[in-house]
Amino acid sequence: MSAISYLEAIREGMTEEMRRDEKVFVMGEDVGVYGGAFKVTKGMIGEFGPQRIMDTPISESAIIGVGIGAAIQGFRPICEMQFADFVTSGFNQIVNNAATFYWRQGVKTPMVIRNPSGGNIHGGPFHSSNPEPWFFRTPGLKVVAPATAYDAKGLMKSAVRDDNVVLYFENKYLYRRIKEELPPEDYIVPIGEAKLARDGNEAVIITYGAPVHDSIQVCGEMSKEEGVEVAVLDLRSLMPFDKGKILTIVKSTNRVLIAHEHQLTGGIGGELAAFINENAFEYLDAPVMRVAAKDIPVPFSPPLEEYFLPTRDKIKAKLIELLSY
Amino acid sequence: MSAISYLEAIREGMTEEMRRDEKVFVMGEDVGVYGGAFKVTKGMIGEFGPQRIMDTPISESAIIGVGIGAAIQGFRPICEMQFADFVTSGFNQIVNNAATFYWRQGVKTPMVIRNPSGGNIHGGPFHSSNPEPWFFRTPGLKVVAPATAYDAKGLMKSAVRDDNVVLYFENKYLYRRIKEELPPEDYIVPIGEAKLARDGNEAVIITYGAPVHDSIQVCGEMSKEEGVEVAVLDLRSLMPFDKGKILTIVKSTNRVLIAHEHQLTGGIGGELAAFINENAFEYLDAPVMRVAAKDIPVPFSPPLEEYFLPTRDKIKAKLIELLSY
Amino acid sequence: MAVKKAGKERIKFIIEDREYFDLNDKKKIDLYYYMQVCRKAEEQIIRLYRQGKIVGGVFTGRGLEAITIGSAYALEERDGLFPIHRDMGAHFVKGQTLKTFFAQYLGRANTSSRGRDGNLHLGMPEKHIYGTISHLGAMIPVAVGYAMGAKMRGEDSVALSFIGDGGSNIGDFHEGLNFAAVHKLGFILVIENNQYAYSTPTQEQYAADYLADRAIGYGMHGEVVYGNNVMAVYEAVGKAVVRARKGEGPSLIEARSMRVRGHSEHDDAFYVPKELLQEWVKRDPIENYEKYLLRKKIITKVKIEKMIREIEAEIREATEYAEQSPFPEPEDCMRDLFA
Amino acid sequence: MAVKKAGKERIKFIIEDREYFDLNDKKKIDLYYYMQVCRKAEEQIIRLYRQGKIVGGVFTGRGLEAITIGSAYALEERDGLFPIHRDMGAHFVKGQTLKTFFAQYLGRANTSSRGRDGNLHLGMPEKHIYGTISHLGAMIPVAVGYAMGAKMRGEDSVALSFIGDGGSNIGDFHEGLNFAAVHKLGFILVIENNQYAYSTPTQEQYAADYLADRAIGYGMHGEVVYGNNVMAVYEAVGKAVVRARKGEGPSLIEARSMRVRGHSEHDDAFYVPKELLQEWVKRDPIENYEKYLLRKKIITKVKIEKMIREIEAEIREATEYAEQSPFPEPEDCMRDLFA
Ligand SMILES: Cc1ncc(C[n+]2csc(CCOP(=O)(O)OP(=O)(O)O)c2C)c(N)n1
Ligand SMILES: Cc1ncc(C[n+]2csc(CCOP(=O)(O)OP(=O)(O)O)c2C)c(N)n1
Ligand SMILES: [Mg+2]
Ligand SMILES: [Mg+2]
């Protein structure tokens, strides 16, 4: 058994589910012979053929809408957005059609929408964004965002098996940068469960996606440098988010830093902070603090993007501020 | 001088700006001879003609996109969405094109996008929504949401004069239900300034739109019944929101209830709560509490919609909970 | 080289006296029956609306019955129907009951949407009727996907949807039709060209001679029919269904008619020229079809009267049923956000 | 009645020996010059990319120079240009400088986007060049609005934009063109049909014979040209500009060509059949045009060599300028979110 990358884990998750259930299929731009812009579906057409690894016209709204229709017919489409940024072109189908069909008509529309997202690749404003907050606030959608290969595979499997619409945010920066040995047997990561990525008692960083790794590293440094142990809670699922685990760790650490790669204002961190404030107010020794991207579109040129992103340095600085409050 | 309705105030705002500046024009579905689905633009075509009160095909994305192009040419379009719900069909143009043009290319795109929004009219999930949180979190957009005729007019004028993209959320329920005498002279309400709609010292309800009126009424009742004076801060502008006024009133009341008509989770209240928590932690005698719509689409049948909305009863109950914390 | 298009007047606004596809007398009477059911049911809705009993606004398909009924009559039970806001006629053909119809308009609990979705967003999944969302055009890609699902399962069922002259100008129309054409799916889109989109006349919605010509740009079959001749509509859609089942791909059928009432019941349609309205009131699809059936001796006056009495009785009964049906429990709307 | 369409083969893939609109020898040499500038500049970009100096990916318009340059050459300064990802040729004609071009690709501060927007999202507002966003089709309605603004001001300036065979299938294509046709706006859309959209061949993007046929469904002028003949492209767009200025409405021009490199520089285009590629490499728009100019004695070998030397010198100079240009200050990106 050898280690596989985050990207390969996504592919394995899809492949195994497609073997298990013939109703599962993939559709998107260039997913077939080409294997997708990031090669996530590479080789899959060889095993499953063009009917189940289906290239589509450049029509994000139709990709989602057709996916809904196929789901009504009992299929389980995995719709790929070439970049998460383009999900805005299918926005209406997601938030009004897909999100509501079951609630308003009792019609199930199981589907996964894959969104390669995130920055740090010099993609500029339209190839680097993290659009999950728009969906996080939309009733009827589930939202997941794995940070490790293990979770990428396990959450993909859960998403495919889920009878609802699951927005799957995969972080492009992590694709080939992290590797892990995965269990040989079938496993899933349940949607809605956070994971304690690092234990600690002086504070907790609640985060997901790429900043999970930065946070763990920062906490390691803080442990060495200052002797403080800070926990890292990897949400993994954003909607529903794991209220139980959040409150437990908050109540035992009493100091909370929320870190996310998308912009600060109106981000998911706001909701988490409000939730923690409402439900664990008496336990807080300091205000819930947040570190996030700046409130501008993702800039292109390296010095700007570095300035924009919630880098390790910024996480560390904010953590020190929190600990010294 | 006689009182005019909220709806008439919007029309007056547009009309006066169109008289003042020939670059201002209105475009949207059925805004011309028909005067708009809600008759907000009624009669305006008589004064300004079909070139400046322009009917469009049913193409929300083009309405916004064409508006951007006209703005590049020095015009100041006011684009009407027939219902705010349909803004999702123009979502991509707003969040990626309109919101970023100036920042990324130095090209100004002054425009107003009017969104008749809100529930309590038995319109069902797609004629009753409050989509402002999606835009609130999108860098590059200004967002306003007046609750009174005075502010409706004054904010319309500011929005038209602003060199940026302003999303103007007008509450349909208020259209003909509230009236006010307005000053005869030209006035504006600056974007970014909240207004103390009611003074008080025991707590503050921070809100905007229709719940402003419910909040004021609830506070009146509480004053009579319990002798407590609770302030109501009407945000009026959501982006930028008035950080100064918020912190001032929070620091003098020490208890905060946020009320908004859209769904709780991922709503604007989350950001406000997080912001208050971050910046006035030591002043809080209770957690920042929120009252909002339920986390489902807006239901159609009256008993369901009543259950869904943050009604006066619910605001009052939450306020009592806050005061007795 | 510049593109060419076919000449201008492509249809006659009369019920031509000829054979129509596979229509026999029984089917012709069926079509008449459904048109009367739809007309009478919608008249009842208007009555209830005036009595303040309807939740929400009221849109009807008056004058468009030939389109919605002629189209849906070409479907089998297993085919998917994706009706929009003027397509109650199609519902009834496909198996929507008068009881669920009235219950829905009164906001009651006993419909597939349990009072959650707007009155005309009625569905009936067990009959493969999928309730629309309000956003025009949004159901087109979904119906295309339904057709794709059928193909993937190796079945020959088709999907049918509708769109207006106004709604045809939204992006999803384009993306959906193009997708269907590329994959040669069994999808049929009927354009209800009723000359107005709310207050906006067609020349402010599009500049083409015929919306059906958009089919050329997608590489699919396109066709124009007289929308007030139920047999012609049935024929065009029926043939489209045959092609679809054979795997010959999608069809775009433009049915020309006129909206003879306001956009919805609160709209007096002051913006519609009186002469235009009069002309089309005279072309009423039911009255003229009735004349045709009588003239051809397919039906008798007596039979018609009996039929109408039965329909009216059924409508009364369904209305009572609906009025006695419970409103949903408030908390019920919190259930089933997720499956 | 079913709709009709015109026959199949509508263009010849050769540079025909005939008059082209108002092209005289000077203009013909101009066209050649810009094509060489574009070709050489993009070759330099590829060199810099291989040296790891470029920020972001690299997309080129190689083989499409006749389309982008022939089109933009029909514009005046006041006309709006809305180029997309393969249209550097159009930029140069419209006044984009080699210096700003290279500075942009190196992520430097001294361009209209100050390092904020992606390399090919270059603009130059003072020359009425508006940098695209990535979302395909999104600039179409914007360009239509630019044309509408011109009309509202009583001016006759026009707007030109491009779209690919793939991008033509996105909703904004439909909404934008329909809007332009209804309002008879001075908008010209050139479809760069280069047979592939990333890895996807045209038959998986659309099923129509010609994308230009979509013009019929909008009621506008549609036309197909050989995209590797710069004069034919210029002629079609030039005439469209004349019509646009006269208020005769928009045009949709499909230029047929081939993408002779990968989608971007990281793509070796393994999915493109070798023969197809060879066929089109032989049809290189610059080489064949050069032969035409030499054969017609419009230019000489000597003049060409001198021209190329000058271009290459200018490119070297611009590259140096760009490499010496500063990166933006980090905090600069926080400015000007609002005007
Ligand atoms: C995307 C979208 N925009 C606007 C509306 C509001 N609206 C509802 S019906 C209608 C007019 C529709 O006209 P048409 O498509 O011709 O259908 P008709 O009502 O004439 O049958 C409009 C503008 C909508 N439902 N969806
Ligand atoms: C809405 C949207 N979806 C997907 C993409 C990703 N993408 C960029 S270029 C491209 C292929 C474009 O093909 P085509 O339109 O034919 O233009 P070409 O590159 O061949 O010139 C794709 C899929 C995008 N930019 N925008
Ligand atoms: Mg219509
Ligand atoms: Mg292409």
Q: What is the pLDDT of residues C227-260, one digit of tens each?
A: 999 999 999 999 999 999 999 999 999 999 999 9
Interface test with A, best of D333, D335, D338 (most A CBs within 10 A): D333
Q: In what order do the strands lie in the sheet with D221-226?
A: D80-82, D159-164, D187-193, D251-256, D221-226
Pairing of strands B237-239, B195-198: unpaired
Provide the token pair at C44. 């009842």
Contacts of B124 in chain C (CB under 8 A): 56, 116-119, 121, 134
Interface test with B, best of A138, A164, A258 (most B CBs within 10 A): A138
Contacts of C136 in chain A (CB under 8 A): none
Q: Judge whether residue D228 has pLDDT over 70.
A: yes
- Identify whether A240 is preceded by a cis peptide bond (ω within 30 of 0): yes
The protein residue whose alpha carbon is closest to atom 6 in ligand 2 is A82
Distance D319 CA to ligand 2 centre (A): 28
Distance B194 CA to ligand 2 centre (A): 44
Percent of chain B with pLDDT over 90: 99
Q: Judge whether residue C4 has pLDDT over 70.
A: no
Q: Is A12 on the interface with D (CB under 8 A)?
A: no
Q: Judge whether residue C1 has pLDDT over 90.
A: no
Domains and CATH numbers, chain D: 26-325 (3.40.50.970)
Q: Is B303 on the interface with C (CB under 8 A)?
A: yes
Q: Judge whether residue C121 has pLDDT over 80.
A: yes
**Residue (of C35, C52, C42, C48) closest to C98 by Cα position:** C42
Contacts of C227 in chain D (CB under 8 A): none
Q: Over range D247-255, report the average pLDDT.
A: 98
Please list all protein residues whose beta carbon sits less than 5 angstroms from ligand 4, which is an ion.
D 164-165, 194, 197
String of b and e for B184-215 (b: at least 16 CB within 10 Å)?
eeeebbebbbbbebbebebbbbbbbbbbbbbb
Query: Which residues lie closer than 8 Å to B256 by C-beta, 6 or more apart?
Result: B203, B204, B206, B250, B273, B276, B284, B286, B288, B289, B322
How far apart CA C84 and CA C60 sit, in angstroms, is 11
Q: Is D134 helix (H, G, I), strand (E, B) or coil?
A: coil
Alpha carbons within 13 angstroms on the beta-carbon side of residue D1 total 12
Could you tell me if the CB of C254 is within 6 A of ligand 1?
A: no
Q: Judge whether residue C3 has pLDDT over 80.
A: no
Residue C10 has a pLDDT of 87
Pairing of strands C196-197, C200-201: antiparallel
Domains and CATH numbers, chain A: 4-180 (3.40.50.970), 195-323 (3.40.50.920)
The protein residue whose alpha carbon is closest to atom 17 in ligand 2 is D164
Residue A2 has a pLDDT of 84
Q: Judge whether residue B213 has pLDDT over 70.
A: yes
The pick from C198, C264, C271 for probing ligand 1's pocket by mutation, whose C-beta has the most ligand atoms within 8 angstroms, reads C198
Question: Which chains have 3+ CB pairs within 8 A of D?
Answer: A, B, C
Residue C48 has a pLDDT of 98
**How does pLDDT run across C265-323, given as a tens digit for each residue?**
999 999 999 999 999 999 999 999 999 999 999 999 999 999 999 999 999 999 999 99
Question: Which chains have 3+ CB pairs within 8 A of B?
Answer: A, C, D
Interface test with C, best of D3, D172, D193, D251 (most C CBs within 10 A): D3
Provide the token pair at B173. 């329920």
- Determine whether the interchain pair D334/A301 forms a contact, defined as Cβ–Cβ distance below 8 Å: no
Please list all protein residues whose beta carbon sits less than 5 angstroms from ligand 3, which is an ion.
C 164-165, 194, 197
Residue C8 has a pLDDT of 56
Residue C287 has a pLDDT of 98
- Residue C232 parent element (H or E): helix C230-245
For ligand 2, what atom is nearest to the CA of residue D164?
15
Q: Is B169 helix (H, G, I), strand (E, B) or coil?
A: strand
Contacts of C134 in chain B (CB under 8 A): 83, 85-86, 124, 126-127
**How does pLDDT run across A158-183, given as a tens digit for each residue?**
999 999 999 999 999 999 999 999 99
**How does pLDDT run across B95-150, given as a tens digit for each residue?**
999 999 999 999 999 999 999 999 999 999 999 999 999 999 999 999 999 999 99
N-to-C CA span, chain C: 54
| pLDDT band (50, 70, 90) for residue B1 | low
Q: How many CB atoms lie within 10 A of CB C282?
A: 9
Amino acid at site D288: N
Active-site positions of A read 127
Could you tell me if the CB of D211 is within 6 A of ligand 2?
A: no
Residue B251 has a pLDDT of 98
Q: Is C108 on the interface with B (CB under 8 A)?
A: yes
Residue C223, strand partner residues: C253, D2
> Residues in chain D, how many?
339
For ligand 1, what atom is nearest to the CA of residue C194?
20
Q: Is B303 on the interface with D (CB under 8 A)?
A: no
Residue A265 has a pLDDT of 98
Give A56 to chain D, closest Cα distance, Å: 7
Active-site positions of B read 127
Contacts of B140 in chain A (CB under 8 A): 296-297
Contact between A296 and A262 under an 8 Å Cβ cutoff? The reply is no
Q: Is C205 on the interface with D (CB under 8 A)?
A: yes
Distance C168 CA to ligand 3 centre (A): 9
Q: Judge whether residue D8 has pLDDT over 70.
A: no
Q: Judge whether residue D7 has pLDDT over 60.
A: no
- Residue A54 parent element (H or E): strand A53-55
Could you tell me if the CB of B61 is within 6 A of ligand 1?
A: no
How far apart CA A142 and CA D59 sit, in angstroms, is 36
Residue D267 has a pLDDT of 97
**How does pLDDT run across D93-122, given as a tens digit for each residue?**
999 999 999 999 999 999 999 999 999 999
**How does pLDDT run across B226-239, given as a tens digit for each residue?**
999 999 999 999 99
Q: Over range B243-262, report the average pLDDT.
A: 98
Q: How far, rounded to the nearest angstrom, does the alpha carbon of residue C121 sit from its chain's CA centroid?
A: 13
Q: Over range D151-179, report the average pLDDT.
A: 98
Contact between B229 and B272 under an 8 Å Cβ cutoff? The reply is no
Contacts of D10 in chain C (CB under 8 A): 1
**How does pLDDT run across C21-55, given as a tens digit for each residue?**
999 999 999 999 999 999 999 999 999 999 999 99
Residue C157 has a pLDDT of 97
Residue D1 has a pLDDT of 45
**How does pLDDT run across D144-159, given as a tens digit for each residue?**
999 999 999 999 999 9
**Residue (of B219, B209, B319, B301) closest to B262 by Cα position:** B209
Amino acid at site B151: D
**How does pLDDT run across A206-229, given as a tens digit for each residue?**
999 999 999 999 999 999 999 999
